[in-house]
Structure 1
């Protein structure tokens, strides 16, 4: 599976699109089709630290998480948002290769500091955040300092098709891992988040944690996608703190 993913990631082209919003956040698009990636950054000179933001299944465009993306950019980050799929009908076994291809194009284009990389993902993107951490070195991409996996899942409950897993045992020891599950998440449940943390055995136990979110305002599957005060407190603030902590690590 790894060989197929890397072969798929070698494909892809580039096109450009840039726009300024009222908050002086710049957005640029590279690649095409499912290997598209969006680069979202503050209107300042770089190089800047980088966050890889992996969306949930079908949420292929930045407006699905725009308030959070802008928040990260205003905190001085380049945010890379790979599309990785054309639609909800995209073959699950192709999305990681698409993600790698789009991320590679975006990193080549963005004025970023790749060694500062932190990955955050929601739902399918939460599962893919662990896959990226496990395969990045083999793919010639920067290893993340940390991953925040929010309500991760590889398939809907009761659905056979799923995103293939890259063994979490391959995640490098220096990675910080935080995986969250929601007590009211009836879409993916809690098992995928628990598995990421339990199976990433190269990472010391003190650097990986599983958190069950019980707050009813955000414990459902779409809690991380909302931008209300509760979601900002539970998800945005946790990522902000993880970024600071991870980038303060030596190395």
Structure 2
């Protein structure tokens, strides 16, 4: 299997980052580096991450000013030394065999770009229903208007460079825009795998309100193009405070 660069973007995730790094340390396949891009955090995330450098020998920390998710992902991709890239948010969880299974499926299906479905095993029933509806939407739209979750997204350096990376002017659905542009040249599909999505946004903003926001956003994207600037209200504006 090919080596892979895992780009993790982080903002004030001292309560979560250890769980993800532990998941990575326990992967059955260890041919990867980890690039942790710290988006101007003011907590002890980096100190926690340093404790994993013995168990993750290819772990590097990069501090940047500002809190833009797109800039963070683009920065991580520019530092990646392997062709295959996996973008992750710092508050997700992965099964121990996630990388080995994903890389096998990417190779077998000859995919450059791929999304991963969301799991909410520990979430309330209403949240599970919401995630199920989102996954159904991901499955259906992958064939004509791809959408994806940037919290767990596969790409390559070649794809990333040729599409110009994540559009730093887009404040909502920048991950969907990324895969939609990539799919115009490369085949995009969702892998039959899941990652554990942290449902704090749903708990803080309401799962119905959040779901309707993204439904409205993607309908607007489909009809009128990408959402830039303040074209649409976003209750959890992740340009200013991602993951909160």
Query: TM-score, normalising length from structure 1?
Result: 0.29
TM-score, scaled to structure 2: 0.30
